[in-house]
Structure formats: structure tokens, C-alpha cells
Structure 1
């Protein structure tokens, strides 16, 4: 596959995604959704976030690990504390990554 074809596929895919999302914005800007729907839709981002993050933090080698040897869990908990203190997504993500890298570097030295 040539480079031009790859770029064409990426551009068309990006445009299709953009137009699909824009269509919902344009449709629902004039429609008043029922309050029950609004309440339910507020729960979608935390549910999606939990479904992505918790397996990464809790599951190691196919089983849930809640021990101190689970460095991702420790880094995630420390990042959660930082998130509560700073309310800044970038600082939270960056600090969580740095904490995990430091733990992965320091812990093998201890053992």
C-alpha cells in the first residue's frame, strides 16, 4: 500500500469520525433531552474511565492483585491523591507515569 493511499484512508477516516460526532451535536442542540437521560448520560464517562483504568491497575497475570507488589496499583493510588489535590488532568497523568517509572526502577534494586 502506498503512502498516498495510507494518508487518504487516514483523512477519510478522520473526516467520517468528525462528521459522525458533529451530526449528534447538530441534532441534539435543538432537542431538550429528558432529565432522566441527562442523569444517566452523566454516568457514562466515569463508567468508561473505570472500565479502562481499573483492569490496568488491578489485574496482573490474569488475576486481581491487591498487594504492595502491584506497582501499577500503588502508582495509580498516588496519582488519584494528586488528582484530588490538583484537579489537573495533565499533572495527574504525568505524575502517575513518573511515579510508576520510579517504582519500577527502585523496587528491583531493593530485591
Structure 2
């Protein structure tokens, strides 16, 4: 069985845009139609759909079409990898600060 390997540069690139980040933040509350998601933005529909395509290519969201309505949902797998990456790097940084504090305390 193959394991999922995220494309972190693509994920972080997708999240770096304020519109796409706002869409992800909205989807935390639950799935929404494309119309609902695009409502707060002053963008033409094709421009907004490009943002959704970037999020889908980064595997941050999925969408399902039922009749004329496309519903978008978060993909917890990719977001789980982001959370894990941040946690790992935060722990490493905190360890460095702890070592620095120990060193500085020894110097006094």
C-alpha cells in the first residue's frame, strides 16, 4: 500500500494567497457551494474557480458536483501533514531556544 506523500511547497504556495487562505478558513466550518464560497470576494467567477483549482491541485480541498451545484470540502489528509510539519519544526526551534537559555544561564 502506497503512503501519501504531500507536496508541501505546493500546499504552502496554495495557502500563501489571501483569497485561498480565506476559502480554507471558511471551509473549516463545513462544506460549501462554490457560490457560497465566492460570495465575499470581488472576483469574476473564472478567477475564483482558478483559486479553487489551485487548492484542489494542492489536495487541500475536494469538490463534488450534484446537478448544477458544486460543493467544496476540506481534505483533512493534506491539512494533517501541514499540522505535522509545523509541529515538528516548532519543536526543533523550541529545543534550540532551550539550549540557548541554558547556555546563557551558564555564562552568568
Q: TM-score range by the shorter chain?
A: under 0.3
Q: Which has the higher contact order (CA 8 A, sep 6+)?
A: 2
Structure richer in helix, relative to its length: 1
Q: What is the TM-score when the length of structure 2 is the normalising length?
A: 0.24
For the pair shown, the structure with the greater C-alpha radius of gyration is 1
